[in-house]
């Protein structure tokens, strides 16, 4: 009788097979109050190669800094459901894209205001558990929030999207799994 350990199994690649109906690339329905924004990016491995068949989940506050629920459209007063949640797969080149609104600042655990941000959860083949990170908005005056301050200054840029040239409502933000510009991931 052998007491050898069972080999490890990795996740996926199942995201395209069984989860397509759950994908949400437009987080803000028409009429949702707030500044519309599109986020485009790519997930890259430690060698700079694209990672296909990855999945990011987005969780964010509305323009007033509140999570989930119904918001009133200031134009016509109609109620709009804004969950603040989306699930976006990468394509064969590791690219992803989604549209939403810029969230408002939210209060942190100690009451200090946090910068507008998107909470991101990343899953993909080869990961036994998902990774958590954040995406912050460029030129945001509150980009001194308490969570961002926990990150060494030289690594903060990995969490801040950049303005895509020539397209004022489009941001660019890549997720790099390893290397010199490895995205900061949080242990939560």
Does residue 104 form part of some domain? yes
| Domain annotation covers residue 108 | yes
The lowest-confidence range among 12-16, 41-45, 90-94, 102-106 is: 12-16
Query: Is residue 141's pLDDT more than 70?
Result: no
- Tell me what pLDDT residue 68 has: 74
pTM, two decimal places: 0.84
CATH number at residue 40: 2.60.130.10
13-66 residue pLDDT tens: 555 566 677 788 899 888 888 999 999 999 999 999 999 989 999 999 999 998
Residue 3 lies in a domain: no
Half-sphere exposure of 88 (CA within 13 A, CB side): 24
188 found inside a domain? no
Q: How far apart are alpha carbons 124 and 90 in whole angstroms?
A: 10
**Residues in CB range of 45: below 8 A, 6 or more apart:** 51, 177, 178
Instruction: Please count the structural domains in the chain.
Output: 1
Q: Is the pLDDT of residue 156 over 90?
A: yes
Domain contains 168: yes
The pLDDT confidence band at residue 82, using thresholds 50, 70 and 90, is confident
Mean pLDDT, to the nearest integer, of 130-155? 87
- Distance (Å, whole) CA 156 – CA 159: 6
Query: Could you tell me if residue 11 is inside a domain?
Result: no
Q: What is the mean predicted confidence (pLDDT) over 170-188? A: 93
Residue 102 belongs to domain spanning: 23-176
Q: Quick check: is 99 in a domain?
A: yes
pLDDT at 134 over 90: yes
Please check whether residue 51 lies inside any domain of the structure. Answer: yes
Residue 145: pLDDT band (50, 70, 90) is confident
Instruction: Determine the average pLDDT of the residues in 125-142.
Output: 85
């Amino acid at each position: 009788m052998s007491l050898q350990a069972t080999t490890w199994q990795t996740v996926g690649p199942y995201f395209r097979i069984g989860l397509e109906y759950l994908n949400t690339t437009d987080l803000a329905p028409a009429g949702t109050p707030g500044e519309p924004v599109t986020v485009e990016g790519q997930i890259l491995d430690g060698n700079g190669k694209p990672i296909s068949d990855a999945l990011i989940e987005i969780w964010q506050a509305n323009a007033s800094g509140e999570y989930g629920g119904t918001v009133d459209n200031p134009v016509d007063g109609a109620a709009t459901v804004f969950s603040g949640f989306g699930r976006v797969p990468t394509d064969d080149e590791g690219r992803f894209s989604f549209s939403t609104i810029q969230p408002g600042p939210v209060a942190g655990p100690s009451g200090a205001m946090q910068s507008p941000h998107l909470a991101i959860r990343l899953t993909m083949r080869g990961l036994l558990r998902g990774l958590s990170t954040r995406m912050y908005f460029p030129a945001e005056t509150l980009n001194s929030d308490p969570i961002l301050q926990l990150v060494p200054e030289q690594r903060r840029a990995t969490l801040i999207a950049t303005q895509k040239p020539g397209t004022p409502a489009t941001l660019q933000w890549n997720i790099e799994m390893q290397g010199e510009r490895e995205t900061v991931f949080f242990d939560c």
